[in-house]
Amino acid sequence: MKTLEDVRALDAADPLRDFRDRFDLPDGVIYLDGNSLGARPKTAAARMADVVEREWGQDLIRSWNTNHWMDMPRRLGGKVAPLIGAKPEEVVVADSTSINIFKALSACIELQPERSVILSETGNFPTNVYMMQGLAAASGGRVEHRLVATEDLVDALDETVAALLITQAHYKTGYLHDMQAITRAAQDKGVLVIWDLCHSAGALPIDLNACNADFAVGCGYKYLNGGPGAPAFIFVAERHQDRVMPVLSGWLGHARPFDFSDIYEPAPGIDRFRCSSPSILAMASLECGLDIFADTQMTHIRTKSVALCDLFIEQVEARLAGHGFTLASPRDAAIRGSQVSFTHEHGYPIVQALIDRGVIGDYRDPGIMRFGFTPLYVSHEDVWRAVEILQDIMATQAWDKPHFHARAAVT
Ligand SMILES: *Cc1c(COP(=O)(O)O)cnc(C)c1O
């Protein structure tokens, strides 16, 4: 088992150690929830103040041109692209993940007129499943949504399936799907694949084009550190872009929005997957998060992420043996994202007690304590200290207080 000296040596040799200074984190907080809401880049406050004061306050509507507001969806898309193995002209930052899921699903249905099923796994993130249900309900019987257990996914791929919607890293367990193998298995059966990268973009290297991916969506506010409710992104492989007539045919996906025509004519390429006016304030803060990635490589991030997760598992299992914690994430790092979950029958109050002591993780039913490890701002020593605090909370039964049992609206 590693000692405090060991973990300090790991931090001293860490190529990412200086990145922590690029984030504002409160003193005394060990932040293990970057998989839910990334920390704030230090540049974000000044950048947003500038957008508010100067661009919006002084330049007003001229900013769409003079401050390049209208270009932001594509400019930011171009900054997401290298993180996910896409070309800049295959990614646009727009709308939300839920909306982008709907766009991708409806595109697949259109591209596969002789197929009717949209497929996903049971226990996928709820909005993904709900968007499937909504699309099926609105289709008047044309589309059927189907959920199968993870281990049955490949067998469920047949000639009735138009699209497989699959989340690369599971939000509860961090289980990581093999993108290459699943994409190939699906495409062998003529199925288009939509990868949801919410829990993997910015957390590990992704190479959509090496896997010949069709569509992908992902979140701006998790590992990309874009701020609460930051806009999402959508990737559409170049070969599909001009074959899709968007169902969510918003005016900013029009070829010439400022013609104000009565007739919708989709823009060429990825721009047709835009829908609404971009949220400029939110885009400005997301860009601060994205710019940090330009100064490092995803391979460094992945190497450290694996080390942090392995260290956490080692420390919890050694120092809290006999306290009722069961690993709910894969032990094998090759099939694990950048988070570690443990189940415990008192998971909810234990997480609240940890938060009270400055160790911020979160909780998902049933009994799942989730800890996200964000290599840009979490150190090995943070992991070591988090487990030390957990050990103290368990030894003193500090978690068993009435106010730690009361459920908040957001867990
Ligand atoms: C976080 C997350 C979302 C979020 O969707 P929003 O539209 O941003 O609320 C969707 N899918 C998955 C898998 C997620 O992890």
> Kind and range of the H or E element at 79?
helix 72-84
Nearest residue to 197 (alpha-carbon basis) of 257, 128, 258, 266:
128
Cα-to-chain-centroid distance, residue 92: 15
Bridge partners (DSSP) listed for residue 235: 91, 216
127 CA to centre of ligand 1 in angstroms: 7
Sheet holding 362-364, edge to edge: 326-327, 339-343, 368-372, 362-364
The pair phi, psi for residue 234, each rounded to 5°, is: -135, 135
Residue 129 Cβ inside 6 Å of ligand 1? The answer reads: no
How deeply is 100 buried, as exposed, middle or buried, from its count of CB atoms within 10 A (0-12, 13-18, 19+)?
Answer: buried
Tens digits of residue pLDDT in 143-178: 999 999 999 999 999 999 999 999 999 999 999 999
Atom nearest to 96 CA in ligand 1: 7
Q: Which two tokens stand for residue 106?
A: 């409806």
pLDDT, the chain, mean: 97
SS3 237: coil
Residue 97 Cβ inside 6 Å of ligand 1? The answer reads: yes
Residue 374 Cβ inside 6 Å of ligand 1? The answer reads: no
pLDDT on residue 283: 98
* Dist. CA 217–CA 166, nearest whole Å: 10
68 CA to centre of ligand 1 in angstroms: 28
Atom nearest to 100 CA in ligand 1: 7
Output the CA–CA distances (angstroms, integers) from residue 45 to 42, 202, 365, in the order listed: 7, 21, 34
- Structural contact between residues 163 and 240, judged by C-beta atoms closer than 8 angstroms: no
Res 367 pLDDT > 90: yes
Chain position carrying tokens 């699943």: 182
What is the reported pTM?
Answer: 0.97
Say if residue 366 is preceded by a cis peptide, omega within 30 of 0.
yes
The single-letter code of the amino acid at 145 is: H
Q: Which two tokens stand for residue 176?
A: 């990581």
Kindly report the CA angle at 85 between 83 and 87, in degrees rounded to 5? 105
SS3 235: strand
Tens digits of residue pLDDT in 87-134: 999 999 999 999 999 999 999 999 999 999 999 999 999 999 999 999
Contacts of 347 (CB under 8 A, 6+ apart): 363, 367, 368, 369
pLDDT on residue 395: 97
From 99, 125, 177, give the residue whose CB has the most ligand 1 atoms within 8 Å, as the site to mutate: 125
332 CA to centre of ligand 1 in angstroms: 25
